[in-house]
Amino acid sequence: MLAVFDKTVAKCPDALQSPHSAPATSVLKDGFLANHLASLHPGSVTVNLGTSGLIAYSLDKQNPLLPRLFAVVDDIFCLFQGHIENVAALKQQYGLNKTANEVIIVIEAYRTLRDRGPYPADQVVKDILGKFVFVLYDSTSKATFIAADADGSVPFFWGTDSEGNLVLSDDVQIVQKGCGKSFAPFPKGCFFTTSRGLRSFEHPMNELKPVPRVDSSGQVCGSTFKVDAETKKESAGMPRVDSSYNWSSNY
């Protein structure tokens, strides 16, 4: 799986940038990374998101226990990998029919959060039990919603290219191809949104602090992020507004 977002859509943390970054190549130019994925996995599918970026995936060589799923509902694009354990409970919670699968559940959870916001965003992700990562893009509001489970069960990496564009993939070599050393494992138990950046859904009241990584050659790579037990956020809640309000700017 692969997702690339223009820096105007998803501003990645500055700490992902390594002083030993990749050559001055834009991962979005001429479908650079999508073409690389296709060369590794013939038959891969690329969904062009216009100036916002792209999503690409292949069903080739996937783990049958952690399958990849893709869906589009009302201009919301979602790429999901993994398995949700409490599917039945979430279908009931979001009023979905019996045929809905994991990727549809994530889209509906996001849409409920965006349009009605009955719970904080961290609780919405925390309610999803299982082994998973997902990348969601709402083309209406040009918003991203990205998350990984609390155990880091599915390999998932993120990085930034020389122009500040965000790259996400379950294949570390694909991320390295576009980002050089400016990458890191996506933090487990965390979610990233266009409006709020990176946050922990396990510890929503705590800030996250970057911890620089050093590779075997001694060069600094992109940082990992750890929950800072000493630093608390001012507020983890959201303002109460009427149900017609678009929550996408506040989650």
pLDDT digits (tens, 9 = 90+) for 195-241: 889 999 999 889 999 998 887 777 888 889 999 877 776 544 433 33
| pLDDT of res. 62 | 82
Q: Find the angle CA(81)-CA(87)-CA(88) to the nearest 5 degrees.
A: 165
Binned at pLDDT 50, 70 and 90, residue 118 comes out as low
149 pLDDT more than 90: yes
38 DSSP β-pair partners: none
- By the 8 A CB rule, do 85 and 129 touch? yes
| Strand ranges inside the chain, DSSP E | 2-5, 45-48, 53-57, 68-73, 76-84, 130-138, 143-148, 157-160, 166-169, 183-185, 190-193, 197-200, 206-214, 220-232
148 pLDDT more than 50: yes
Spatial distance between the Cα atoms of 8 and 10, rounded to a whole number of angstroms: 6
244 pLDDT more than 50: no
- State whether the Cα torsion 41-43-44-49 is positive or negative: positive
3-state helix, strand, coil in the chain (%, to 5): 25, 35, 45
Q: Residue 28 CB: number of other CB atoms within 10 A?
A: 22
